[in-house]
Amino acid sequence: MSTTADVTTANRIESIAELKRLANRLRIEIIKMIGTAGSGHPGGSLSEVELLSALYFRVLRHNPKDPQWPDRDRFILSKGHGCPALYAVMAEAGYIDHSVLSTLRKMGSPLQGHPDKRFFPALEANTGSLGQGISIGCGMALASRLDKKDWHTFVMSGDGEIQEGQNWEAAMFAAYHKLENLTVIVDYNHIQLDGFLKDILDVSPLAQKFEAFGWRTLEIDGHDFNQVIPALETARAAKDGKPTCIVANTVKGKGVSFMENNPEWHGVAPKPDQVAAAVAELEAAAKKL
């Protein structure tokens, strides 16, 4: 069995420069995965890369060699359509071989179009029915307290799915039960499936809404590791009886110029020539890192 001493953030990356290089590699993997699959969600996968990288390589207590280690931290990707980024990160961390990434969305692949524990047991929950992740996180955080364990639960939600009422019931529950061992990260890229949030159902001011529900809120640039890492560490260490919400301002399609801030790339796979263009742009950016 694993122990806390040998798994505190497996494969930890100390260097911010190396984390930036990792984020760039992951974006290339995401583009190639979705392009090969011929379907998927590039925009929201690209926007969450730094957040997931900081979690899995600096903050999350986990062990790829023992995915079911009882004292691991839990991570729930509520915005399940963004799973290409999660799969790429988990491959980099050692949960799966990189060769499996090319099987995204294929019949029988462990990498389904939305996270599915039946195919990929290292995942914590099946997600993709939007609005449910915070509720799942509340249950896990409460279980940790009842079992007198110190593992932390992180949930990543999309800003579009925050429009759903179940999130706010869960937010009220978490604050009432003082779930300080729960952190929600909102990938706040300001775009949902068919347009900009401000034109559909604006969720702003988002941080103030969570504050009103009794949460600690931190608002950051979700692409700046110098802001992302301290925010996650602050949330992980909190002991004041408040759950934490990190409002991470991000850019949908980050890293690929023709995808950035473009709602059309929410759920459309790039064609071969677009994959080539995106990869070339990311490879050029890598040379400057």
Alpha helices in the chain (DSSP H): 16-37, 42-47, 49-54, 83-93, 133-146, 165-176, 197-200, 206-212, 225-237, 272-286
Work out the mean pLDDT of the chain and round it to a whole number: 95
Task: Give me Rg for the CA atoms of the chain.
Answer: 18
pTM of the entire structure? 0.96
Dump pLDDT digits (tens) for 58-114. 999 999 999 999 999 999 999 999 999 999 999 999 999 999 999 999 999 999 999
CA separation for the pair 221, 29 (Å, rounded): 23
Domains and CATH numbers, the chain: 17-286 (3.40.50.970)
Long-range contacts of 256-262 (CB under 8 A, 24+ apart): 256/27, 256/31, 256/42, 256/46, 256/281, 256/282, 257/281, 259/42, 259/43, 259/46, 261/190, 261/191, 262/43
Q: Find the range with the poorest average confidence among 2-6, 19-23, 213-217, 245-249.
A: 2-6
- Residues 208-217, mean pLDDT to the nearest whole number: 98
The answer to whether 235 touches 218, Cβ cutoff 8 Å, is yes
